[in-house]
Amino acid sequence: MGQTTRVTHLECSLCRKRHAAGQVHNLCDCGGPLLVRYDLEQVGQGWSREQVPQGPHTMWRYAPVLPPERESSVVSLGEGMTPLVRAARLGQRLEADHLWIKDEGLNPTGSFKARGLSCAISMCVELGIRKVAIPSAGNAASAMAAYAAAAGLEAHIFMPRDVPQANFIECKAFGARVTLVDGLISDCAKIVNAGAKTEGWFDVTTLKEPYRIEGKKTMGYELAEQMGWELPDVIFYPTGGGVGIIGMWKAFHEMEALGWIGSRRPKMIAVQVEGCQPVVRAYERGEERSQFWENAHTVASGLRVPKPLGDFLILEAVRASGGTAIAVSDEELLDAGIDLATGEGMFVAPEGAACVAALHKLRASGFLRRDEKIVIYNTGSGLKYLEAYSTRFPRAGAGEQDKLGGLITPR
């Protein structure tokens, strides 16, 4: 890992109250999420961007701006350093000449959630926490179960009953204690909140602890490194809890303070779905906070978050960057996902596919120029969403298999 970090304190994102580092924290007294702050001047004196490639080929190459103080605390399964793939054919069809896809589906457990949970579980080890609990629409549960298993921690997971089968099986295989809930992720969160008080669980809910965001911010550091320390013009991000946007926005400010990049920022595009678009509605109304989205529904389970806790931070980044928030339909995102797979050989999660559909809309409307450098974040592997994509590929009946060439039966 190299140097230890220079964490000075934790700061409330709402009231700015300072909280001591090295102690167990969830939310601030005012209910605001806590953000880790570093002595970046001190960090910069002993660490430069030229030294970054000397670190491990994981997100822990950015250890000086990650919270664990002891290398022995780090729980890693090889997360980070995911490929940045040039999507030339898709770009040609969408009239976007400089288009890349950052494929987070190649992380451990098949999603970007590995970054946040690697950091959060590492801090649980450092702080002596032994029991963790999480509400999840799927991928965060898989990641927490994996990292908790690697760390030898007791994991309690609460997921909606209609969660993708892959997520449920993963969690069980990792030895987590899984409860399926009739309801949404918000209903699961209520159970975790109650259990944290009665069972002594540490609540690892999105933004209810300070460290998942630190793992997620490495997507910003990594993108800058992969693009030669020059940020793109536009970033599309599928926005459920929205911690990826919040984390990258934090990373950009840290890198500027380190002198690694300038003040220019990408337009941050928050992508949601028509069946659950609280951030889009708040953005269009000019509001600072979102309202709970009733009857949330979508095949993209990671986007079925009726009210993100960090909505004000998402909206702040979108507005400050000159970006926008946009929703697409389930039909549009599934078609876009298949289009991407056919044209580029990338099978992405419906959440990532939603960004492809959103790009199509924003190019058609003229919001984005053809010559802008655009990066789409795909947050997970399409293989974890076979139920969603299966609606596009009904299987042939047994009697049709021979003539279709799908199955040869011995005579």
At residue 268's C-alpha, the angle toward residues 34 and 335, to 5°, is 115
* Token duo for residue 251: 């990373």
- Name the E strands within 113-266: 131-135, 154-160, 177-181, 202-203, 234-238
Q: Nearest to residue 281, comparing CAs of 299, 294, 268, 263?
A: 294
326-381 per-position pLDDT tens digit: 999 999 999 999 999 999 999 999 999 999 999 999 999 999 999 999 999 999 99
339: Cα within 13 Å, side-chain hemisphere: 20
CA distance from start to end of the chain? 61
Q: Nearest to residue 161, comparing CAs of 328, 304, 337, 276?
A: 304
The predicted pLDDT at position 410 comes to 47
144-198 per-position pLDDT tens digit: 999 999 999 999 999 999 888 889 999 999 999 999 999 888 899 999 988 888 9
Alpha-carbon dihedral sign for residues 219, 223, 229, 231: negative
* Token duo for residue 166: 């892959």
- Name the E strands within 44-93: 84-86
Domain ranges of the chain: 84-110+213-392
Q: Class of the 84-110+213-392 domain? A: alpha beta
Q: Helix, strand, or coil here: 324?
A: strand
Give 138's DSSP letter.
S
Q: Which residues touch 405 (CB under 8 Å, ≥6 apart)? A: none
Are 343 and 308 contacting, i.e. CB atoms less than 8 angstroms apart?
no
The predicted pLDDT at position 165 comes to 87
Alpha-helical regions (H) of 200-329: 212-226, 243-258, 278-285, 311-320
The predicted pLDDT at position 2 comes to 44
The predicted pLDDT at position 396 comes to 52
Distance CA(21)–CA(169), nearest Å, equals 36
Q: Helix, strand, or coil here: 147?
A: helix
List the 373-378 sheet strands across, edge first.
84-86, 98-103, 373-378, 234-238, 267-273, 324-328
Exposure class string for 325-336: b at 16+ Cβ within 10 A, else e: bbbbebebbbbb
* pTM for this model (two decimals): 0.92
Place of tokens 């250890």: 63
Residue type at 344 in one-letter notation: E
The predicted pLDDT at position 395 comes to 76
| Residue numbers in the chain where pLDDT is lower than 50 | 1-3, 398, 401-405, 407-411
